[in-house]
């Protein structure tokens, strides 16, 4: 039986939400097209994720255990997936889209003479063809891409699909994987993370994002208070990362991070297309802006027109009261 193979990305002992979204959608796609669904975990201890993965119903799980997977390095992932592609002969291989998967997918496609469609917002199988839609040019344009290659790699933007449980019991195969670190052409020397990243922005369920409207330290404090009251991650527009109010690691948008939370607060953000490119997949968008004509309101589920310096303290206080009660 032809199959779909899904890469399951993990970090800090957890499966990334974006991978569960891809796995959930691929379960449906496999069922609709009479295909098998396989999942691959590359980790220092992959078996710890088996129970969680079974909630999403893959038919088979490949576990590849190796210390080299403690941090992302492209070469071992490319070698590991090459091995899996030969073992499983999938029709389609799906990844959650990240910077690193772009590199991995390109190399894999070249190695296996296959097609790669990166960063899709949706994809489906249509007979022999894989049809995908990808936002391009800072998400101004949606491009339609089709491939009838025998093997297609896709990476899927986070937030494109919902997670959906479908409990099952997968067959588990422990795949022996050897990797000679001496052959690495680049090595990872240090992982630098910002002390301010209390909640991982890319995976956060709630994001409070600040724009130029917050002006100064006082505004920054109001943003952090709101984020703390919600257990949310803090994000920022380029205007406030460039001014130094927030670190560059928190920038959301075309040249920053792509986020897809359940709830996104855009506070004092005008809604420039380059910012929207990084947050348009958010489920519920709340915009707070004193300008009723600000473009961000075109994308907002709820809009509050007013001064953020008056709105944020009231909002934070209300949230604290609701949580306490």
Ligand X SMILES: Cc1cc2nc3c(=O)[nH]c(=O)nc-3n(C[C@H](O)[C@H](O)[C@H](O)COP(=O)(O)OP(=O)(O)OC[C@H]3O[C@@H](n4cnc5c(N)ncnc54)[C@H](O)[C@@H]3O)c2cc1C
- Does the protein bind ligand X through residue 256 (CB under 6 A)? yes
For the beta sheet containing 60-65, the strands, ordered from the edge strand earlier in sequence to the opposite edge, are 115-120, 152-156, 92-96, 3-8, 36-43, 60-65, 171-175
CA angle 9, 15, 18 (to 5 degrees): 65
- Find the shortest distance in angstroms from Cβ 268 to ligand X: 4
- Find the shortest distance in angstroms from Cβ 238 to ligand X: 3
The C-alpha atoms of residue 272 and residue 253 are separated, in whole angstroms, by: 9
- Does the protein bind ligand X through residue 243 (CB under 6 A)? no
Please select the residue that binds ligand X; options are 212, 249, 319, 320, rule is CB under 6 A. Answer: 212
- Does the protein bind ligand X through residue 289 (CB under 6 A)? yes
The C-alpha atoms of residue 320 and residue 325 are separated, in whole angstroms, by: 9
The C-alpha atoms of residue 91 and residue 5 are separated, in whole angstroms, by: 8
The C-alpha atoms of residue 229 and residue 224 are separated, in whole angstroms, by: 9
- Does the protein bind ligand X through residue 233 (CB under 6 A)? no
- Find the shortest distance in angstroms from Cβ 255 to ligand X: 4
Per the DSSP assignment, residues forming a β-bridge with 129 are 126
Please select the residue that binds ligand X; options are 168, 254, 263, 320, rule is CB under 6 A. Answer: 254
- Find the shortest distance in angstroms from Cβ 27 to ligand X: 33
- Find the shortest distance in angstroms from Cβ 297 to ligand X: 10
- Does the protein bind ligand X through residue 275 (CB under 6 A)? yes
Please select the residue that binds ligand X; options are 290, 299, 319, 320, rule is CB under 6 A. Answer: 290
- 143 Cβ contact partners less than 8 Å away, ≥ 6 residues apart: 133, 134, 135, 136
Reading the block at residue 46, the tokens are 């992959």
- Does the protein bind ligand X through residue 307 (CB under 6 A)? yes
CA angle 116, 122, 123 (to 5 degrees): 55
Which one, 17 or 257, has the nearer CB to ligand X? Answer: 257
Residue nearest ligand X (C-beta atom): 253
The C-alpha atoms of residue 284 and residue 306 are separated, in whole angstroms, by: 19
- Does the protein bind ligand X through residue 269 (CB under 6 A)? yes
Per the DSSP assignment, residues forming a β-bridge with 172 are 61
Distance of CA 173 to the CA centre of its chain: 26
The C-alpha atoms of residue 78 and residue 239 are separated, in whole angstroms, by: 37
Which one, 55 or 255, has the nearer CB to ligand X? Answer: 255
- Find the shortest distance in angstroms from Cβ 288 to ligand X: 6
- Find the shortest distance in angstroms from Cβ 254 to ligand X: 4
Reading the block at residue 193, the tokens are 């993370």
- Find the shortest distance in angstroms from Cβ 74 to ligand X: 24
Reading the block at residue 231, the tokens are 């257990």
The region of 9-17, 32-40, 84-92, 274-282 touching ligand X under the rule CB under 6 A is 274-282
The C-alpha atoms of residue 197 and residue 233 are separated, in whole angstroms, by: 7
Please select the residue that binds ligand X; options are 213, 235, 261, 303, rule is CB under 6 A. Answer: 213
- Does the protein bind ligand X through residue 16 (CB under 6 A)? no
Please select the residue that binds ligand X; options are 75, 251, 260, 282, rule is CB under 6 A. Answer: 251
* Count of residues interacting with ligand X (CB under 6 A): 28
Binding site for ligand X (CB under 6 A): 211-213, 237-240, 251-256, 268-270, 272, 274-275, 278, 288-291, 294, 307-309
């Amino acid at each position: 039986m032809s199959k779909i193979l899904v890469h399951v990305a993990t970090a800090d002992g957890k499966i990334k939400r974006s991978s569960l979204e891809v796995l959930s959608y691929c379960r449906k796609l496999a069922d609709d097209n009479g295909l098998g669904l396989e999942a691959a975990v590359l980790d220092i201890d992959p078996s710890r994720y088996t129970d969680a993965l079974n909630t999403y119903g893959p038919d088979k799980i490949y576990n590849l255990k190796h210390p080299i997977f403690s941090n992302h390095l492209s070469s071992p992932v490319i070698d590991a997936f090459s091995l899996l592609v030969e073992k499983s002969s999938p029709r389609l291989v799906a990844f959650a889209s990240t910077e690193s998967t772009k590199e991995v997918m390109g190399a894999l496609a070249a190695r296996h003479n296959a097609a790669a469609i990166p960063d899709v917002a949706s994809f489906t199988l249509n007979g022999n063809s894989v049809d995908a839609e990808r936002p391009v040019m800072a998400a101004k344009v949606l491009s339609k891409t089709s491939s009838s290659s025998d093997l297609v790699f896709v990476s899927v933007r986070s937030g494109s699909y919902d997670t959906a449980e479908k409990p099952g019991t997968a067959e588990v195969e422990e795949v022996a994987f050897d990797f000679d670190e001496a052959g690495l052409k680049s090595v990872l020397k240090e992982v630098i993370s910002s002390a301010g990243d209390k909640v991982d922005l890319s995976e956060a369920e709630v994001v409070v994002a600040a724009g130029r409207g917050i002006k100064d330290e006082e505004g920054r404090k109001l943003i952090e208070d709101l984020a703390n009251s919600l257990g949310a991650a803090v994000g920022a527009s380029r205007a406030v990362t460039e001014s130094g109010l927030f670190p560059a690691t928190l920038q959301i948008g075309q040249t920053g991070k792509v986020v897809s939370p359940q709830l996104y607060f855009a506070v004092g953000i005008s809604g420039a297309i380059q910012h929207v490119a990084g947050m348009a997949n958010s489920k519920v968008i709340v915009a707070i802006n004193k300008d009723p004509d600000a473009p961000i309101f075109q994308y907002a589920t709820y809009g509050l027109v007013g001064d953020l310096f008056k709105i944020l303290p009231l909002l934070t206080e209300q949230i604290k009261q609701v949580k306490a009660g």
